[in-house]
C-alpha cells in the first residue's frame, strides 16, 4: 500500500518530482528520480511566457484534499460481511477512495486541484492478492449485486476510471496492485507468466535481473499495469521490434461474472474461430478482471543506440518516415516531432556546465540554420532508438540515415535523440506546472493512413486554433504533434494542445469543446477514434460511427452474455 504514499494525489507521478519556478524565476525539476532531476532549465521560463502569454508571477496553488466534501460511502453490509470472512483486505478511507476515483484526464485533475472533487467515487477499495481472491470478490459482487471497477495503475486518460454518477449500488474499486509477481519464466519458449497487477517498470526490472525484457514500453510504463495494457490495447514505443500488447500476449486469464475464461493451451497461434483474447483486449474493464498473463520475453539487447535527424520541414520528415516504413527498416523506435515540439524540447535543455559544450551547441546551430539554410521555425527532428547486436545496429543505423539524407535530413547526434526520449517521461509532469500558472494542457492520439498524415496534422491544428479563438481563448493555443509510430499502412500521430485560460469562465468546458471539435476533425480526415489510449467514457459517443451499428451490437451482445447484471459497471466503451 506504499505506492499511494509516494504518488501525488492531484497530479502526475511521484510526489517528490515536479517542475517549479524557483525564487530566481528559473525553472527546475525537483527530486532525484530522473536524469533531469535537480537541474536548472534556464530557457523554460521564456518559452513558457512567450508561448502561452502566461506570467510566472501569477501562481495558483492547489488546495489540499478536503475529506469532508466527499460523498459518504454507500456500503453494502452483506457484501462487507462476506468479504471480511474471506480475509481479503479492504478499506473505505476517504483518501483511498479518492485516489482510485480518477485517471489523468484534464477535467479530473482540474477538479481535484480546484478542490471540487467528484460527484461519485468508489465506496470502498479492496486489494486481492491473487487470482483466487479475485474469483471470490467477483462471486460475492454477483451475489450481492455490487458494482466492481478494476483499478491498475490509474493512468487512464479517457475517463475510464470515473464512477458513473447514476450508479446507485455500492461501487468497489478492485485494486490489482498486490498481484505483482512473476509466477514463472519459461526460457525454452521465451515466455513468462505474470500477475496482471504488476507495474511496467517493476516488470522490466525483475525480468532484467534474469537477463530478459518484454520490450513493451508505453510512455506511462512507470505507473501503468499489465492488466491495464491488456484492457486498453496498449502500444509500446518499441513496438517495431517487440510488437504491441496484442502481439506480446500468449495467454490471458480473466475473471468474469460468468466464471473464468482462458484458453486451454499456449500455442503461438490458433484457428479456433475469432480470437477470444480480442474480446478482452480493449474491453476497458467492462467484462471482468485480467488476473494472469503469459507474455513473450526477449533477451536484453546487447547494444542500444540513440540517434536523431533534423529535417528542413515536417513534410520532409513525414516523407522520410513513410519511406522507412515502406522499406520495413524502422528502428525500435522512430518519432518525428514537429517544429513546435522541437522548440519546446529546446526550452527544456538543462543549463550547460562547460563553455565548450555551449560553444559546440552554437556551432551546430550555425551549421544547420546558416550553412544548410534550415529555417528554425520550420525544421523538425526525428528521434531514433536502435537495439540489437552491435554490428547489426550500426548497419541498420546507416541504412536509416541514408534514407533520411534522401529527404534532406541531417544526422543531429545521439544526445538530441536521447533527450527526446527522456522528455517523454517528464513531459507528463509539465501539465501540473502549467496548471499552476493558468495553463491547461492535454494530449490525444490517432492512427491514420500515410497519405493523410500531413493533411490531418495541419487541419487538426488549424481547427484547434480556430475553435479556441471562437471560444474566447485570449492567447493563441499551443498545438503540436508528432508521428510516434510507423506501420506498413499508416502511422500513429500524437497531439499536444495547451492554452492559457485566464479570462475564461469555465476553462474545462471550453477545453472539452475544443477537444471534441479536434476529434471530429480527426475522424473527418480519416483518422481513427484512438490508437492506444482507448475509448473510456470520453469517446463513447463516436463508437457507433467508428465500428458501425452491427459492430457495436456484437460487442453489446458479448457484454450481455458475460455480465448480464452489469457488475463491471464502469460504463466504458459501449
Compute the distance between CA of residue 58 and CA of residue 56 in angstroms, rounded to an integer: 5
Q: Provide, rounded to whole angstroms, the least separation between the CB of residue 492 and another protein.
A: 17
Question: Is 565 a binder of another protein (CB under 8 A)?
Answer: no
Q: Nearer to another protein by C-beta: 234 or 448?
A: 448
Using CB under 8 A as the criterion, what x/- string covers residues 472-511 for binding another protein?
Answer: ----------------------------------------
Q: Count residues contacting another protein (CB under 8 A)? A: 13
Q: Provide, rounded to whole angstroms, the least separation between the CB of residue 201 and another protein.
A: 38
CA distances from 549 to 59, 243, 543, 552, 555 (A): 48, 30, 9, 5, 10
- The reply, when asked if residue 140 is annotated as ligand binding, is no
Compute the distance between CA of residue 378 and CA of residue 495 in angstroms, rounded to an integer: 18
Compute the distance between CA of residue 226 and CA of residue 153 in angstroms, rounded to an integer: 9
Q: Is 501 one of the catalytic residues? A: no
Number of alpha carbons in the 13 Å side-chain half-sphere of residue 483:
33
Residue matched to cell numbers 478536503: 66
Report which of 273, 255, 253 is spatially closest to residue 263, judged by C-alpha positions: 253
* Contacts with 21 (C-beta within 8 Å, 6 or more apart), sequence order: 27, 45, 56, 59
Q: Nearer to another protein by C-beta: 255 or 522?
A: 522
Q: Nearer to another protein by C-beta: 451 or 565?
A: 451
If you write DSSP's letter for every residue of 381-436 in order, what string do you get? EEEEEEEE-HHHHHHHHHHHHHHHHHTT-EE--HHHHHHHHHHHHHHHHHHHHHHH
Question: Is 69 a binder of another protein (CB under 8 A)?
Answer: no
Compute the distance between CA of residue 396 and CA of residue 471 in angstroms, rounded to an integer: 48
Question: Is 526 a binder of another protein (CB under 8 A)?
Answer: yes
* Contacts with 97 (C-beta within 8 Å, 6 or more apart), sequence order: 70, 73, 91, 121, 122, 123, 124, 125, 173
Question: Is 313 a binder of another protein (CB under 8 A)?
Answer: no
Q: Provide, rounded to whole angstroms, the least separation between the CB of residue 339 and another protein.
A: 18
Q: Provide, rounded to whole angstroms, the least separation between the CB of residue 484 and another protein.
A: 21
Q: Which residue of 33, 346, 458, 502 would you call a contact of another protein, by CB under 8 A?
A: 458
- The reply, when asked if residue 256 is annotated as ligand binding, is no
Q: Nearer to another protein by C-beta: 74 or 459?
A: 459
- The reply, when asked if residue 235 is annotated as ligand binding, is yes
Q: Provide, rounded to whole angstroms, the least separation between the CB of residue 313 and another protein.
A: 15
Stretch of 218-226, 381-389, 429-437, 520-528 contacting another protein, by CB under 8 A: 520-528
Compute the distance between CA of residue 380 and CA of residue 367 in angstroms, rounded to an integer: 15
- The reply, when asked if residue 553 is annotated as ligand binding, is no
Q: Nearer to another protein by C-beta: 186 or 455?
A: 455
Question: Is 459 a binder of another protein (CB under 8 A)?
Answer: yes
Q: Provide, rounded to whole angstroms, the least separation between the CB of residue 477 and another protein.
A: 16
Q: Nearer to another protein by C-beta: 279 or 444?
A: 444
**Whether the Cβ atoms of residue 409 and residue 317 lie closer than 8 Å to each other:** yes
Compute the distance between CA of residue 228 and CA of residue 281 in angstroms, rounded to an integer: 10
Report which of 351, 339, 340, 308 is spatially closest to residue 36, judged by C-alpha positions: 351
The total number of residues written for the chain in this structure: 574
Q: Nearer to another protein by C-beta: 417 or 490?
A: 490
Question: Is 524 a binder of another protein (CB under 8 A)?
Answer: yes
- The reply, when asked if residue 285 is annotated as ligand binding, is yes
Please list every residue from 438 through 457 that binds another protein, using CB under 8 A: 451-452, 455-456
Q: Which residue of 75, 185, 523, 574 would you call a contact of another protein, by CB under 8 A?
A: 523
Question: Is 541 a binder of another protein (CB under 8 A)?
Answer: no
**Whether the Cβ atoms of residue 162 and residue 118 lie closer than 8 Å to each other:** yes
Q: Provide, rounded to whole angstroms, the least separation between the CB of residue 446 and another protein.
A: 12
Q: Provide, rounded to whole angstroms, the least separation between the CB of residue 524 and another protein.
A: 4
Stretch of 39-47, 176-184, 408-416, 518-526 contacting another protein, by CB under 8 A: 518-526
- Residue 31 DSSP label: S
Q: What share of the chain is helix, strand, coil (3-state, %, to 5)?
A: 40, 20, 40
**Whether the Cβ atoms of residue 253 and residue 532 lie closer than 8 Å to each other:** no
- The reply, when asked if residue 286 is annotated as ligand binding, is yes
Query: 213 in helix, strand or coil?
Result: strand
Question: Is 462 a binder of another protein (CB under 8 A)?
Answer: yes
Q: Provide, rounded to whole angstroms, the least separation between the CB of residue 518 and another protein.
A: 13
Q: Nearer to another protein by C-beta: 173 or 339?
A: 339
Question: Is 415 a binder of another protein (CB under 8 A)?
Answer: no
Count the Cβ atoms, other than its own, within 10 Å of residue 329: 15
Q: Nearer to another protein by C-beta: 170 or 529?
A: 529
Compute the distance between CA of residue 94 and CA of residue 454 in angstroms, rounded to an integer: 47
- The reply, when asked if residue 125 is annotated as ligand binding, is no
Question: Is 463 a binder of another protein (CB under 8 A)?
Answer: yes
Residue 20, class by beta-carbon neighbours within 10 Å (0-12 exposed, 13-18 middle, 19+ buried)? middle
- The reply, when asked if residue 2 is annotated as ligand binding, is no
- The reply, when asked if residue 242 is annotated as ligand binding, is no
- The reply, when asked if residue 358 is annotated as ligand binding, is no
If you write DSSP's letter for every residue of 259-272 in order, what string do you get? EEE--S---S---S
Which residue is catalytic, options 429, 494, 496, 511? Answer: 494
- The reply, when asked if residue 158 is annotated as ligand binding, is no
Q: Which residues are annotated as a binding site?
A: 150-156, 232-235, 284-290, 431
Query: Binding site for FAD: which residues?
Result: 150-156, 232-235, 284-290
Q: Which amino acids are annotated as binding site for substrate, given as ranges?
A: 431
Question: Which positions touch another protein (CB under 8 A)?
Answer: 451-452, 455-456, 458-459, 462-463, 523-526, 545
Show which residues are catalytic: 494
Amino acid at each position: 500500500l506504499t505506492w499511494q504514499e509516494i504518488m501525488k494525489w492531484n497530479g502526475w507521478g511521484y510526489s517528490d518530482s515536479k517542475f517549479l519556478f524557483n525564487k530566481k524565476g528559473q525553472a527546475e525539476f525537483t527530486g532525484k528520480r530522473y536524469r533531469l532531476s535537480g537541474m536548472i532549465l534556464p530557457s523554460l521560463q521564456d518559452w513558457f511566457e512567450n508561448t502561452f502569454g502566461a506570467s510566472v508571477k501569477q501562481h495558483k496553488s492547489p488546495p489540499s484534499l478536503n475529506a469532508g466534501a466527499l460523498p459518504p460511502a454507500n456500503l453494502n453490509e452483506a457484501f462487507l460481511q462476506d468479504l471480511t470472512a474471506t480475509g481479503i483486505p479492504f478499506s473505505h478511507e476517504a483518501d483511498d477512495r479518492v485516489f482510485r476515483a480518477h485517471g489523468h484526464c484534464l477535467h479530473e485533475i482540474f477538479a481535484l486541484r480546484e478542490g471540487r472533487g467528484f460527484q461519485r467515487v468508489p465506496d470502498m477499495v479492496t486489494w486481492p492478492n491473487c487470482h483466487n481472491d479475485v474469483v471470490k470478490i467477483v462471486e460475492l459482487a454477483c451475489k450481492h449485486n455490487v458494482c466492481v471497477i478494476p483499478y491498475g495503475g490509474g493512468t487512464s486518460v479517457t475517463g475510464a476510471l470515473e464512477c458513473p454518477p447514476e450508479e446507485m449500488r455500492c461501487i468497489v474499486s478492485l485494486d490489482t496492485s498486490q498481484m505483482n509477481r512473476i509466477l514463472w519464466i519459461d526460457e525454452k519458449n521465451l515466455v513468462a507468466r505474470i500477475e496482471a497487477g504488476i507495474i511496467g517498470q517493476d516488470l522490466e526490472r525483475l525480468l532484467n535481473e534474469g537477463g530478459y525484457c518484454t520490450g513493451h514500453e508505453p510512455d506511462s510504463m512507470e505507473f501503468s499495469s499489465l492488466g491495464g495494457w491488456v484492457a486498453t490495447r496498449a502500444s509500446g514505443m518499441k513496438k517495431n521490434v517487440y510488437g504491441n500488447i496484442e502481439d506480446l500476449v500468449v495467454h490471458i486469464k480473466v475473471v468474469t461474472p460468468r466464471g473464468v475464461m482462458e484458453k486451454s493451451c499456449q500455442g503461438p497461434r490458433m484457428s479456433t474461430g475469432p480470437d477470444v483474447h480480442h474480446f478482452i483486449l480493449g474491453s476497458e474493464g467492462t467484462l471482468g478482471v485480467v488476473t494472469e498473463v503469459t507474455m513473450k520475453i526477449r533477451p536484453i539487447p546487447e547494444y542500444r543506440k540513440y540517434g536523431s535527424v533534423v529535417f528542413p520541414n515536417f513534410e520532409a520528415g513525414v516523407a522520410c518516415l513513410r519511406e522507412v516504413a515502406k522499406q520495413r527498416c524502422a528502428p525500435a523506435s522512430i518519432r518525428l516531432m514537429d517544429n513546435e515540439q522541437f522548440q519546446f524540447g529546446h526550452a527544456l535543455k538543462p543549463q550547460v556546465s562547460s563553455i565548450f559544450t555551449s560553444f559546440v551547441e552554437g556551432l551546430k546551430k550555425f551549421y544547420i540554420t546558416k550553412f544548410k539554410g534550415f529555417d528554425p521555425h520550420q525544421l523538425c527532428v526525428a528521434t531514433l532508438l536502435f537495439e540489437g547486436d552491435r554490428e547489426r545496429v550500426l548497419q541498420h543505423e546507416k541504412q536509416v540515415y541514408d534514407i533520411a539524407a534522401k529527404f534532406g535530413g541531417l544526422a543531429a547526434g545521439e544526445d538530441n535523440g536521447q533527450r527526446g526520449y527522456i522528455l517523454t517521461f517528464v513531459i507528463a509532469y509539465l501539465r501540473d506546472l502549467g496548471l499552476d500558472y493558468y495553463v491547461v494542457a492535454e494530449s490525444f492520439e490517432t492512427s491514420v493512413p500515410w497519405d493523410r498524415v500531413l493533411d490531418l496534422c495541419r487541419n487538426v491544428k488549424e481547427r484547434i486554433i480556430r475553435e479556441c479563438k471562437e471560444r474566447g481563448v485570449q492567447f493563441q493555443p499551443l498545438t503540436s504533434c508528432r508521428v510516434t509510430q510507423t506501420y506498413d499502412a499508416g502511422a500513429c500521430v500524437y497531439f499536444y494542445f495547451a492554452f492559457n485560460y485566464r479570462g475564461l469562465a469555465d476553462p474545462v468546458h471550453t477545453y472539452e469543446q475544443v477537444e471534441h471539435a479536434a476529434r471530429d476533425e480527426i475522424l473527418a480526415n480519416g483518422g481513427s477514434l484512438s490508437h492506444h489510449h482507448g475509448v473510456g467514457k470520453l469517446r463513447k459517443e463516436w463508437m457507433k460511427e467508428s465500428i458501425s451499428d452491427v459492430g457495436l451490437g456484437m460487442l453489446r451482445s458479448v457484454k450481455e452474455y458475460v455480465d448480464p447484471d452489469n457488475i463491471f459497471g464502469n460504463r466504458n466503451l459501449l
